[in-house]
Amino acid sequence: MTPTNALRPVDPEIAELIDAEERRQRDTLKLIASENYVSAAVLEASGTVLTNKYSEGYPGRRYYEGQQVIDQIETRAVERAKSLFGTPHANVQPYSGSPANLAVYLATVKPGDTVMGMSLPMGGHLTHGWSVSATGTWFNAVHYGVGRETGRVDMDEVREIALRERPKLIFCGGTAIPRVIDFPAFAEIAREVEAVLAADIAHIAGLVAGGAHPSPVGHADIVTTTTHKTLRGPRGAMILANEEYAKAIDKAVFPGLQGGPHNHTTAGIAVALREAATPEFAAYAQQIVANAAALADELLARGFQLSSGGTDNHLVLIDLTSKGVAGKPAAKLLDRAGLETNYNTVPYDPRKPFDPSGLRIGTAALTSRGMREGEMREVARWMDEVVTALAAGEDTAEKAVAQVHGEVSELTARFPVPGLDR
């Protein structure tokens, strides 16, 4: 949605930059696993007069007057979240995924308590107790990882660590996990050590909603998620909880960590949840997984090494070591060719996090544009051409970038961008 006539006279520089970003989003292939395109309806709901209203508190219990409309909007978002995920309680106020996870800590443990999560280099998240995060500073964090040969979580190892360390809170889920998460097994371990189990499904919430990944609801005590990524909503977050933790979660979000919610975002979340409850969204979720499998298979056929050997969801984690290049220069060259990725650590990576061995890619955004398995095989071919050229040297790389970018432009012209092309 291009800037309106109201913006251009006031700030033509920002208007032009928004135009430029819109062109960039149209003309590139968005392969970043944590990004997506919202619908025109979500985009419209997120940019409304709701941004003018302060609403500290919860529906029916606000600290500001004039909440007659806002209460209805937030209530609808909450009820839709509860219905979509089959949970007894939902909080739609967290500003993003990290504050949502911080609320879980505030609601369930005290500083110095032992907590357990997946190691960040193995695919976990900063807020699962990693050292550079506040969660690694305030709590005694212990971690599990993946097998060096399998690239998968070993639940026997998770149980062994849990029995030894006796954490009070266990996180499952993460940011670079290409395989199905075994929620029942995590729940069994959490019960055995009397820990609270929190499932972070920020990446796979849309797949869960669409029936393309098992749900943690009924296994985890608390579930956190962002509302963008595969769920295809605005940049916000939600916390789902059973009745035992409902009040503690609400109190942790407000007044524990935040002031008033962003009402325009709440409206966008409500719209996205309504869209996610449709048969069309379920078909979309299934196609995300099918596309990721096709992309992974073609990459494997072209000699790429994939963490865990493939994928069960939207995400593919590539180890470029065998290709003779590192993740950072590969990501930058791919971006110039119109293939938007992010460099990423791979399990047991010998390189530093800011210059790692891998790339993380996903299929949610390309699927939103209507692309299917055939296009995924083309994407794999282009990635192979650029990475191979990078290894061959600067002159070869420049030629590959020009060639691939032209072909990418031809493809993107055939597939409209949700929310932009109507």
| Residue 25 neighbours by CB under 8 Å, 6+ apart | 37, 417, 420
**Does 120 belong to an annotated binding site?**
yes
> Which listed residue (22, 27, 53, 54) is catalytic?
54
Q: SS3 sequence, the chain?
A: CCCCCCHHHHCHHHHHHHHHHHHHHHHCEECCCCCCCCCHHHHHHHCCHHHHCCCCEECCEECCCCCHHHHHHHHHHHHHHHHHHCCCEEECCCCCHHHHHHHHHHHHCCCCCEEEEECHHHCCCHHHCCCCCHHHHHCEEEEECCCCCCCCCCHHHHHHHHHHHCCCEEEEECCCCCCCCCHHHHHHHHHHHCCEEEEECCCCHHHHHCCCCCCCECCECEEEEECCHHHCCCCCEEEEECHHHHHHHHHHHHHHHCCCCCHHHHHHHHHHHHHHCCHHHHHHHHHHHHHHHHHHHHHHHCCCEEHHHCCCCCEEEEECHHHCCCHHHHHHHHHHCCEECEEECCCCCCCCCCCCCEEEEECHHHHHCCCCHHHHHHHHHHHHHHHHHHHHCHHHHHHHHHHHHHHHHHHHCCCCCCCCCC
Residue of 56, 71, 188, 373 marked active site: 56
Of 28, 224, 226, 230, the catalytic one is 226
Q: Is 226 a catalytic residue?
A: yes
235 is catalytic: yes
Active site (annotated) includes residue 200: yes
N- to C-terminal Cα separation, the chain: 9
411 in a labelled binding site:
no
- Annotated binding residue at 124? yes
Rounded CA separation 363/298 (Å): 14
243 is annotated as contributing to ligand binding? yes
125 is in an annotated binding site: yes
From the candidates 30, 76, 179, 229, give the one annotated as an active-site residue: 229
Annotated binding site: 120, 124-126, 243
Please enumerate, by residue number, every residue annotated as part of a binding site for (6S)-5,6,7,8-tetrahydrofolate. Answer: 120, 124-126, 243
Which residues are catalytically annotated?
A: 54, 56, 200, 226, 229, 235
